[in-house]
Amino acid sequence: MSAQESRILAIIGQGYVGLPLAMAAVDAGWTVIGIDNFEAKVAQINSGKSPVEDILDNQLQTALTSGSYRASTDFSTVAKASVITICVPTPLDEKREPDLSLLQSAATAIAPFVSNETLVVSESTSYPGTLRDIIIPTVDSLKPKDSTIVYFASAPERVNPGDPVWNQKNTPRLVGAIDAASKVKALAFYESICDVAVAVSSPEIAEAAKLLENTFRLVNIALINEFAQLCAASGINVQEVIDAASSKPYGFMPFRPGVGVGGHCIPVDPLYLTWWARQNGGRAEFVETADSINHAMPRYVAQRALKLVDSSVTKPKVLILGVAYKSGVGDVRETPVTELCQHLIAQGADVAWHDPLVPNWNDSKPVDLFWKCDVAILATKQPGMDVGHLIKQGIPILDCTNSIRNLAGVSSL
């Protein structure tokens, strides 16, 4: 059977996006090769141990034992695939600008093995033009001579790790293809996995839509973080204000204040937008301001927490509860708790942390909830994290998660 007739999917990158996609594709009847250049991760996956919370070990083991899934470091195996999706990280560099080196190296690594009539899709988040200006020229210049036709599309992943409702199958998928034939192939592929595939007129529309979605979240979080500080300065409970505003049945969407923004998406993707705006001679000033407001939150939270400590304590002991960037995951990438710790330490505090989903963080180990402290900051409410003991001990808690209401000793942001 030629590659184009196969129902073999190769996914480049087996992380928070690639591995759940692999399992969704297996469920839809595809045979999946999960390629990753991190050998230890490939070995872990092939041993049946999932590296991401959304995929349970037994689901992975079933896929492995049925022969419909295997992880590999061998890029030449993409030659068997009729569809190749790229799901590698698109982080920021040290100047906080787009770093497409991993995407570029993934495209370079697959190119010599792309079979004729294969569909290549980028699911990685990036600025408009990435598929057309970077991925396509790379693949076209390095592909085998007899691979005269390669189809291309951009279909940015929207998965929300830890979400009990929305997943790869039931989240509508945007598909922006480079031409009519690619659109037919890409829609057929995503319709085989997702309930709904939404065709848009170009890859750039899909890429820009993804940036808009995450920038929308960033600016609304910044708005509520600023608003929370204004309310706190006037002694008004911002959570109650948000609840009140939420009673309006249209035109309002509640966002909650917090320690800041974290993860691979919300703090990162909007900076792809600001960079892209500058390349085109413009400026996304509103987004830049939102980014600054969110970045100032950890300092504000540190100050608020230390104010809860008796002034006679010279070196306050602060327990941070939850260091992952959001509830339900052990992912600490870009977590605002890193900056929170730095501000607390700079202000003379002795800091420890507890997170049932994070075994190690910043070269340190978690403490238990009985660690003797002067104040606790609930930064991320992890499932099963019971703060009852701290409350019983009369330890003041600053709740940044809106999960403890109306309890003596608990202040909310």
Angle at 155 between CA 150 and CA 161, to 5 degrees: 135
| 206 φ/ψ angles, rounded to the nearest 5 degrees | -65, -45
Q: Which two three-digit tokens encode residue 333?
A: 């990438």
Task: Identify the active-site residue in 194, 231, 265, 373.
Answer: 265
CB of 155 to ligand NAD, least distance (A): 11
Interface stretch with ligand NAD, choices 31-39, 234-242, 274-282, 306-314 (CB under 6 A): 31-39
Q: Is 90 in the site for ligand NAD (CB under 6 A)?
A: yes
Q: Is 334 in the site for ligand NAD (CB under 6 A)?
A: no
Distance separating alpha carbons of residues 297 and 260, to the nearest angstrom: 5
Residue number with CB closer to ligand NAD (35 or 219): 35
Footprint (CB under 6 A) of ligand NAD, residues 250-269: 264-265
Interface stretch with ligand NAD, choices 30-38, 189-197, 334-342, 403-411 (CB under 6 A): 30-38
Distance separating alpha carbons of residues 347 and 43, to the nearest angstrom: 43
Interface stretch with ligand NAD, choices 6-14, 197-205, 276-284, 359-367 (CB under 6 A): 6-14
Residue number with CB closer to ligand NAD (41 or 143): 41
Q: Is 124 in the site for ligand NAD (CB under 6 A)?
A: yes
Pairing of strands 173-177, 150-154: antiparallel
Size of the site for ligand NAD (CB under 6 A): 28
Q: Is 173 in the site for ligand NAD (CB under 6 A)?
A: no
Residue number with CB closer to ligand NAD (84 or 413): 84
Interface stretch with ligand NAD, choices 2-10, 33-41, 345-353, 385-393 (CB under 6 A): 33-41
Amino acid at 322: G
Residue number with CB closer to ligand NAD (106 or 318): 106
Q: Is 102 in the site for ligand NAD (CB under 6 A)?
A: yes
Q: Is 89 in the site for ligand NAD (CB under 6 A)?
A: yes
Indicate which single residue of 63, 71, 83, 88 sits in contact with ligand NAD (rule: CB under 6 A).
88
Indicate which single residue of 23, 24, 33, 36 sits in contact with ligand NAD (rule: CB under 6 A).
36
Q: Is 37 in the site for ligand NAD (CB under 6 A)?
A: yes
Distance separating alpha carbons of residues 42 and 33, to the nearest angstrom: 11
Q: Is 44 in the site for ligand NAD (CB under 6 A)?
A: no
Q: Is 105 in the site for ligand NAD (CB under 6 A)?
A: yes
Residue number with CB closer to ligand NAD (227 or 275): 275
Residue number with CB closer to ligand NAD (20 or 298): 20
Q: Is 342 in the site for ligand NAD (CB under 6 A)?
A: no
Distance set, CA 254 to CA 64, 243, 363, 393 (Å):
42, 8, 36, 33
CB of 156 to ligand NAD, least distance (A): 7
Q: Are 96 and 271 in contact (CB under 8 A)?
A: yes
Residues forming a β-bridge with 318: 351, 375
194 is catalytic: no
Indicate which single residue of 130, 139, 154, 157 sits in contact with ligand NAD (rule: CB under 6 A).
157
Q: Is 14 in the site for ligand NAD (CB under 6 A)?
A: yes
| Binding residues vs ligand NAD (CB under 6 A) | 12-18, 35-38, 41, 87-90, 102, 105-106, 109, 124-125, 157-159, 161, 264-265
Q: Which residues are catalytic?
A: 265
